[in-house]
């Protein structure tokens, strides 16, 4: 692989890697650092690239490992969730509706952040990034059964909380 192939094939996945790292780290700068490190690792390991069947999943796996390493090495408290800016232009909402929308997006962000780590990863990989179960197995280095169990638990935990919020405004 030369730097041109790197630029055309590897670099475009940066946003997926970034979102995945962000899921762990909750901090954009840290997530960007992780993505940069992933790219350096990929470049250094480019000789093995031919053996890798799904290099995107491979990049995602490195992102996951580096993010987990970073969390472990961070003795400091987890950073506050970043002020996420949600795109509300598409809906043509009134200011009040837009505030409500923003609030509900933040609530869901909080719900997902509150899930156990594996569930959080699985639901992100499946529902945000749209990976197949097999790809998720590869990225997370767990078996198919565990992927399904974690996804089931994650979706239902979120659903339950959403129903509670809907019913009691909690």
Q: Rounded to whole angstroms, how far apart are CA atoms 61 and 36? A: 14
99 token code pair? 């505030």
In this complex, which beta carbon is closest to other proteins, that of residue 39 or of residue 70? 39
Least separation in angstroms between residue 19's CB and other proteins is: 6
Q: In the complex, which residues of this chain contact other proteins (CB under 8 A)? A: 3, 6-7, 11, 14-15, 18-19, 22, 28, 32, 35-36, 39-40, 42-43, 86-87, 90-93, 101, 104-105, 107-109, 124, 126-130, 132, 148, 151-152, 155-156, 158-159, 162-163, 165-166
Least separation in angstroms between residue 75's CB and other proteins is: 27
142 token code pair? 């767990």
In this complex, which beta carbon is closest to other proteins, that of residue 49 or of residue 72? 49
In this complex, which beta carbon is closest to other proteins, that of residue 79 or of residue 91? 91
Least separation in angstroms between residue 101's CB and other proteins is: 8
**Residue 63's closest CA among 20, 5, 114, 8?**
20
Q: Rounded to whole angstroms, how far apart are CA atoms 87 and 85? A: 6
The helix/strand/coil state of 45 is coil
Residue 110: Cβ-neighbour burial (10 angstroms; 0-12, 13-18, 19+): exposed
In this complex, which beta carbon is closest to other proteins, that of residue 72 or of residue 82? 82
Please state the φ and ψ torsions of residue 143, each to the nearest 5 degrees.
-85, 170
């Amino acid at each position: 692989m030369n730097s041109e192939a790197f630029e055309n094939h590897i670099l475009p996945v940066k946003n997926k890697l970034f979102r995945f790292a962000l899921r762990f780290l909750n901090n954009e700068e840290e997530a960007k650092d992780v993505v940069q490190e992933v790219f350096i690792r990929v470049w250094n390991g480019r000789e093995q690239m031919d053996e890798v069947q799904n290099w995107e999943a491979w990049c995602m796996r490195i992102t996951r490992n580096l993010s987990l390493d970073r969390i472990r090495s961070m003795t400091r408290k987890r950073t506050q969730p970043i002020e996420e800016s949600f795109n509300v232009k598409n809906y043509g909402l009134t200011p009040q509706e837009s505030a409500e929308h923003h609030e509900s997006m933040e609530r869901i962000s909080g719900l997902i952040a509150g899930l156990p780590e594996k569930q959080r990863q699985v639901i992100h990989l499946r529902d945000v990034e749209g990976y197949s179960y097999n790809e998720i197995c590869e990225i997370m280095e767990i078996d198919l059964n565990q992927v399904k169990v974690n996804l089931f638990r994650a979706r239902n935990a979120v659903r339950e909380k959403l129903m509670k919020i809907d019913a009691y405004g909690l």
